[in-house]
Amino acid sequence: MDLIIDQVVSNTFDPGATSARELNKKLHIKACYDAIWSNKLMGKFQLAIDQMDSLIFENPDIPWFYYEKYRLLDGMDAGNSRADSLVRWLLRNKPKDFSQIYELSHAIIESKYPDYDLAIEIADWAAEKSNYYFSTAFILDVKAEAYFKKGNLQKAIQIQNEAINLMLPYKSEIPEPLKSLQLRLMFYQKELK
């Protein structure tokens, strides 16, 4: 941004050049991204990881790549130690603009080697950052699922009720999402019996 301001002040700003630069950056990122996933599919795991690390280093302003790195690392080693180490790093450092927290908690639950405690910690982080009842309700839904899969049905039911209570005042506006939360609660209650 400073560069653009300097160019505007000095009357050398060319919006076309900025657009071309942004387009080239997007094309470069897409090419790198395609190469990363192609290498993973071909079993060249370390090359794919190295490429992802380079992409993160080149683009520190795109924290979404941390989520993609988790997806890349997920299932690569027994116990998922590399993927879980990345999650612990994210929890310690909490990158400011990292917005895929909900998606990450869900990905951890769906992992080949799920760590439900990590998923719960990530969901708590997501709930801290959430300022919208709808997203908070679905964050709590994922947290409840982690407790359910962990075997703590009472806690899963409690948290699922919290999620539903966030949505109840808006039931006429958003009936389908509320219904999905209620169905999951019924499932947890049935499993408890």
With respect to residue 162, please indicate whether it lies within any of the assigned structural domains: yes
Which residues constitute the domain of residue 148? 132-193
Domain-located, residue 113: no
Distance, in Å, from the CA atom of 99 to the CA atom of 38, rounded to the nearest integer, reads 25
Average the pLDDT over 173-185 and give the result: 92
Q: Among 10-14, 52-56, 81-85, 95-99, which is the least confidently predicted range?
A: 10-14
Residue 179 lies in a domain: yes
Is residue 140, in this structure, part of any structural domain at all? yes
* % of the chain exceeding 90 in pLDDT: 59
191 lies in some domain: yes
- Distance separating the N- and C-terminal Cα atoms of the chain: 59
- The residue among 145 and 13 whose pLDDT is bigger is 145
Query: Do the Cβ atoms of 134 and 174 come closer than 8 Å?
Result: yes
**Angle of helix 45-58 relative to helix 15-41, nearest 10 degrees?**
160
Domain count, the chain: 1
- 192 domain-assigned: yes
Res. 158: pLDDT tops 90: yes
